Amino acid sequence: MNPEQFQQALANKGITLSAKQMQQFADYYQLLVKTNEHVNLTRITDENEVYLKHFYDSITGAFAEPRLTAEELTLCDIGAGAGFPSLPLKIAFPQLKVTIVDSLNKRIAFLDELVAKLGLTDVTLIHDRAETFSAKKSSSREQFDIVTARAVARLSVLSELCLPAVKVGGEFIAYKASAASEELQKGGTAIKQLGGQVQKIVPLTLPVTDEERNIIVIDKVKSTPNKYPRRPGLPSKKPIQ
């Protein structure tokens, strides 16, 4: 998917990108590839693949939750890595107020340079572990309209890292590939214990490759118990069963 095809594919979904926004994506790609030479940000560096599997894929969250396209929502991206999905969403929908949390300072430094280069506002970068970012006495706990994660962790783990940051009445949006239903079966107990309730699963296929994707939207229906998230490392070592 080249940049023109990317723009057209989004237009087909009712999302129009201006010349300025297209330039921001072009600058994003250039800095990503340049920085990736000395900081491990992504294994995908081919331009067509970045536009499809990072930029377009990130924006698919708005297909599942259309409020992202127009409302001034607070969005927190847990473990954003090179900024996915939050920064492509921010470029496409500038009214979003974005907070990015990542545990690796080198990635935060890249994102800081990127945000400045693209001229983005209302983007806050936080170097922290997800477990301490939304711990029971943290000012970030249950503060966000939407929390996103596009990480490879299992849903039972992601839920413990993400749901504590979602305000009651907000949503956790998990980007998953083909194993979404299996992960939901195994992660259902964790989601419920953490105050979540599955609203819907939106199945998608990426253009060009027809790869399967699933956007899982989880409503935050009640406050997360104070004991969650547990101390750093424990959610992944001993997922809630």
Annotated binding site for S-adenosyl-L-methionine: 79, 84, 130-131, 150
| Structural Rg of the chain based on CA atoms | 17
User: How many residues are present in the chain?
Assistant: 241
**Cβ(28)–Cβ(77) under 8 Å?**
no
Whole-number Å distance between alpha carbons of 219 and 197: 5
**Distances from the Cα of 99 to the Cα of 59, 143, 167, 208, 226, angstroms:** 16, 11, 14, 31, 22
**Cβ(134)–Cβ(225) under 8 Å?**
no
- Environment class of 185 (CB within 10 Å of its CB; exposed 0-12, middle 13-18, buried 19+): exposed
Whole-number Å distance between alpha carbons of 65 and 148: 11
Which residues participate in the annotated binding site? 79, 84, 130-131, 150
**Cβ(70)–Cβ(94) under 8 Å?**
no
Q: Which amino acid is at 59?
A: I
Whole-number Å distance between alpha carbons of 233 and 33: 30
